[in-house]
Structure 1
Amino acid sequence: MSAIYETLRQEPYTAIKLIEGPDDVCAAFPSDQPSHCENASVYRKDREILQQVGLKPGLQLSWQAICDQVARQVKPHDIATLCSDCIWQPFGLCEEGVAHIRESGSLRELPEAR
């Protein structure tokens, strides 16, 4: 997941195809752990987030265009509703990410691993 993130951060004009169902991030999920990518809640969240952002599956556009759309359509507090049943939501990382995209139009640099 970090490799995908860094590619998008460093090359924001990378073409992205929006799909329904498991994607390249899911493909990187560790095989020794149960995957959640096929859960109905993931499909629901994907649909709701795409609707909030104003995009549809099947579209292909640059990562930068997606960030621009997120900056226009999503507010940090929207994450609490859109992702209310996500185990990561209470940590606030997505709210911070949306705030950063709204402010800078890009992904923030990841801290170096120690």
Structure 2
Amino acid sequence: MTPPVITYRPHHFLCSLGFQGKGYSDGFTANMSRIVVDTLRAPGGDDTLIEVTGVTDDICAPCPKRRGTLCTEQEKISALDMRHARALGLFDGTRITWAEAKRRIVKRVPPGSLQTLCQGCQWLELGLCEQALADLHSGS
């Protein structure tokens, strides 16, 4: 049986790297935990196939800011997605495993670059993603 394919907006690759159980609502946090902790970080999670999309994705599904295939903060989200897509070379329709995504992050996103790449993200100031990026680069 083929495992399901997860859909991701480009910026959710780095969000998943830094996720530490915080979110916009209880439903959002539970969903993200199911995808990130129970799937990607679980044994065999590196083999999980992710398809890039330019609209709302599996992480967005229960988000209170979701409006159909868009977001109440669409302009900010589109800018984040554009910067992340360019940095990671991941565009609408790209299919990649979580392991390959992490290799691309190491190759293409140096520590310290999130201040520019993630500019405007409310989670940036917590430092969770920057720490996760540094850990990935160091092999921790």
- Shorter-chain-normalised TM-score: which range? 0.7 to 0.9
Partner secondary structure for residue 4 of structure 1:
helix
Q: Out of 14, 21, 24, which is 2:58 matched to?
A: 24
Per the alignment, residue 13 of structure 1 pairs with: 47
Name the amino acid aligned to 1:88: W
Aligned partners of 1:51, 1:74: CA distance in 2, in Å? 11
| TM-score of the aligned structures, taking structure 2 as reference length | 0.66
Q: Structure 2: where are the runs of 5+ without partners? A: 1-31
Q: For 1:50 and 1:56, locate their aligned partners in 2 and report how far apart those are by CA, in whole Å.
A: 6
Match for residue 76 of structure 1 among 103, 111, 121 = 111
What does residue 125 of structure 2 align with?
90
Q: CA RMSD in A?
A: 1.8
Identity %: 28
Deviations 1:45-88 (A, max 9, x none): 11111111122221111011001000111022111011121111
> Quick check: which one's strand share is greater?
2
| Structure 1 runs (4+) greater than 3 angstroms displaced | 33-37
Report deviation, 1:35: 4.0
* Per-residue Cα deviation, 1:6-32 (whole angstroms, up to 9, x for no partner): 111111110000110211000032xxx
Aligned residue pairs, count = 102
